[in-house]
Each structure stands twice: as C-alpha cells, then as structure tokens.
Amino acid sequence: MTAGDMRALPAIRRVVVKIGSALITADGAGLDRPALESWAHQIAALRRRGLEVILVSSGAVAEGMRRLGMTERPHQLHHVQAAAAVGQMGLVQAYEREFASHDLHAAQVLLTHDDLADRSRYLNARSTMQALLEMGTIPVVNENDTVAYEEIRLGDNDTLAALVANLVVADLLLILTDQDGLFDRDPRKHADARLIAEGRASDAQLHHYVAADFGRLGRGGMATKLLAAERAARSGTHTVIASGREAQVMGRVLKGEPLGTWLKPDREPLAARKRWLADQLHSRGQLQLDAGAARVLRESGSSLLPVGVVGVEGDFRRGEMVTCLDPDGVAVARGLTNYGASEIQRIRGQRADRIEAELGYLLEPELIHRDNLVLLS
C-alpha cells in the first residue's frame, strides 16, 4: 500500500477509541494536557459528523503513580488500587473539562470482568452504554482498578476496549499507541522493520512479529493489541492500531488514510449470546475430549455429550464456564455446563441415556447445550 492509497473502510457509525498510558501521561510525566485537549477536539469533530464515540482511556494508575511519587508500577495489587483511586480523580476531571469546552458531557464507566461475565449485568451495562450514546455523551471507560482483584481482572485496557467494542457492536476499534502500528520486527531495535499495513485479525502469523512484553506504565504491549483485534472481530468490528502522536489521527483514519495497521474481521460475526460466551476470560474448569468429540464440535457446533469426555479438571458447578480441550490440549470450545465437576466425573464416557442411571436424576441430556457453547478453534 502506498501513501497515496486510501483504505476502503466500511461505513462507520460507532467507534471505540482506546488511548494508552504512555500517551495519556506523556510517558509517565503526568497527564499530558495538550494531548487530552487534542483528543477531545478530535472526538468532538467525529461527533459533529454524526459518529458515536466511546473512549477507553488508560492513565488512572499512571497518573496516581505520578501524584504519589512512584517511579515504577507497583507489584502489590492494593498499591495499584491505591494509585488508581488517586489518579482516577485527575483523569476524570481532565476529560470533563476538555469535553465541556466542546459542549459535550463525559460519562465515567468503570467495569470489572464480573460486570461482563454475569449475563444480567452484561445486558445492563449494554443498555446503560446505549442510553449514554443516545444522550450524546462520551462514555469514558476504564477498568475498575480500585476494587478489581486478580481473579476478576480484565488484565489490560486493550482487552477492555475489545470487550466494549463487542458490547456495543462497534464498527471500528481504534487503538492509539506510542508506536506507528504493527511491524514485522521491533522498530526500536531494527531500523529495517517493516510496517504491516493491513491483515486479517485471525491471522496467527501476526503473533510471531511481537513479544508479549509489558510497558513500564501499562500492562499491555503489541501482543495484547493483536488479541484485542481478534476479540473485536467476533462482532464484525474492524481494528486499526495507529500512533496517537499523529496529528488529527482519528479523523484521518476515519477518512481512510492508511495510517497504522488495519486488521479486518474475516469470519461471520457471532450472534450476541455467542459473543458474550466467547468474551469470557476466566474459565472455571476444563473438559478433555476424545478426538471424535473434538471433531464433531469443530465441524458441526453441536451440543457436547458426556460420551466424548475423557477427563475433568477444576472444581466447578452447574452453570459455570468451562473450556473444552482436544487431545492435543488445544481449546476447541467454551460453554456453560449443565453439570458440576463431580457429576461429570461420574458420567464422562457414558451415553446420554445412562446419565439418570449413574446419577439418580437427569438435569439435561447434554453436558453443554449448543446454545450455550461457542467454538474457539
């Protein structure tokens, strides 16, 4: 792709913009007020064009670190939470002030994994986000670092941005970072590194180009951005990873200027419930399948029956999320189980018509019904 080419992006109505900590805080020096002013100006311009914009903003922990005199991200979770609590005050105040100058209201939305893992809370979050957009506000989303503990952490704001994109079924996820996009080698170490202008979000080859390293301020890296693009693609969302230091980057990307890396969804979007299932980050257990059961799931997406299960790991209950593995240990599917771990241990390898004889009762003939199961590979 040459500089003169324009991208044929789809019609864009709803955009999720994610801005990383290094950009928000000028590499840790405190909130970069001119940058926030510029991004608010760009988002206001998109709103005037009739686009709906959700902002996923890092920076609370980094700003709290600056205010508290910390030079490195804390390792102890309660210290991270304290930094987030302090920094969130300055971050929200800054956004409110900048958007108010454009006659726009900012709305703070803090989420944890539990908010998205529980179906009713997920639907409520979706309804609230939809209402905020209908009211013309700019939702400013962040992980609720102040209360999230390790088991319910989303992990990084790239992941959060992808989950939000699926939540609201965004047309575009724009990830702004301190790099120009995805390169075939680390451009900080190799002068001949080549920018990947576009690709498929599902292309496993892309992961060979990146290292899963964490930044000094945030928890993400280019690896998490690729995973975010994969997740966002489940709702048909396109992803562009671009430099947030490019002048007027938001408007230029939306006009089709070939900035950064464009990752396209190349599979049919999942239905809403399947999308919610696929977005669950924490599995309560694992079911080892024989080769036949794994093949049937992959080829037909049918319900999982006990006859195909050869092993059970974890201590889970009925209705909880479990991952199904093929004989090579590859995750085939994920779903909500109709039976607990101890029950499945007793009925694994059995035909469905033997469940009642083994347990003394029959809850469902399937371990996981197809409506509660989503394929992963």
pLDDT in tens, 101-119: 999 999 999 988 778 888 8
Q: Could you tell me which of 279, 344, 356 has the C-alpha nearest to residue 314? A: 344
Taking the C-alpha atoms of residue 139 and residue 110, their distance in angstroms, rounded to an integer, is: 10
State the pLDDT confidence band at 151, using cuts at 50, 70 and 90: very low
Predicted pLDDT at 2: 46
Asked if 325 and 286 touch (Cβ cutoff 8 Å), the reply is: yes
Taking the C-alpha atoms of residue 372 and residue 273, their distance in angstroms, rounded to an integer, is: 8
Evaluate if residue 316 carries a pLDDT over 50.
yes
State the pLDDT confidence band at 146, using cuts at 50, 70 and 90: low
Evaluate if residue 152 carries a pLDDT over 50.
no
Predicted pLDDT at 45: 97
Taking the C-alpha atoms of residue 160 and residue 102, their distance in angstroms, rounded to an integer, is: 26
% of residues, the chain, pLDDT over 70: 93
- In one-letter notation, the amino acid at residue 114 is D
Evaluate if residue 155 carries a pLDDT over 90.
no
Q: Token pair for residue 186?
A: 């680390």
Asked if 25 and 59 touch (Cβ cutoff 8 Å), the reply is: yes
Predicted pLDDT at 13: 96
Evaluate if residue 128 carries a pLDDT over 50.
yes
Tell me the CA distances in angstroms from 278 to 166, 199, 245, 322, one per residue in order: 10, 22, 33, 11
Predicted pLDDT at 28: 62
Q: Quick one: average pLDDT of 10-24?
A: 92
Evaluate if residue 334 carries a pLDDT over 60.
yes
pLDDT, tens digit (0-9, with 9 covering 90-100), for 190-239: 888 899 999 999 998 898 888 655 444 444 588 899 999 999 999 999 99
Domains of the chain: 14-274 (3.40.1160.10), 283-375 (2.30.130.10)
Length of the chain: 377
Report the chain's mean pLDDT, rounded to a whole number.
88
Q: Token pair for residue 222?
A: 């280019």
Taking the C-alpha atoms of residue 250 and residue 46, their distance in angstroms, rounded to an integer, is: 8
Q: Which carries the bigger pLDDT value, residue 361 or residue 2?
A: 361
For 81-85, 138-142, 247-251, which range has the lowest pLDDT when averaged over its residues? 81-85
Predicted pLDDT at 279: 84
**HEC string for the chain:** CCCCCCCCCCCCCEEEEEECHHHHCCCCCCCCHHHHHHHHHHHHHHHHCCCEEEEEECCHHHHHHHHHCCCCCCCCHHHHHHHHHHHHHHHHHHHHHHHHCCCCCEEEEEECHHHHHCHHHHHHHHHHHHHHHHCCCEEEEEECCCCCCHHHCCCCHHHHHHHHHHHHCCCEEEEEECCCCCECCCCCCCCCCCECCEEECCCHHHHHHCCCCCCCCCCCCHHHHHHHHHHHHCCCCEEEEEECCCCCHHHHHHCCCCCCEEEECCCCCCCHHHHHHHCCCCCCEEEEECHHHHHHHHHHCCCECHHHEEEEECCCCCCCEEEEECCCCCEEEEEECCCCHHHHHHHCCCCHHHHHHHHCCCCCCCCECHHHEEECC
Q: Token pair for residue 214?
A: 């964490």
Evaluate if residue 52 carries a pLDDT over 50.
yes
Q: Quick one: average pLDDT of 287-307?
A: 93
Predicted pLDDT at 148: 54
The pTM (predicted TM-score) of the whole model is 0.84
CA atoms within 13 A on the CB side of 111: 31
Taking the C-alpha atoms of residue 132 and residue 69, their distance in angstroms, rounded to an integer, is: 35
State the pLDDT confidence band at 181, using cuts at 50, 70 and 90: very high
Q: Quick one: average pLDDT of 181-187?
A: 87
Predicted pLDDT at 216: 43
Torsion sign (Cα): 180, 253, 111, 68: positive
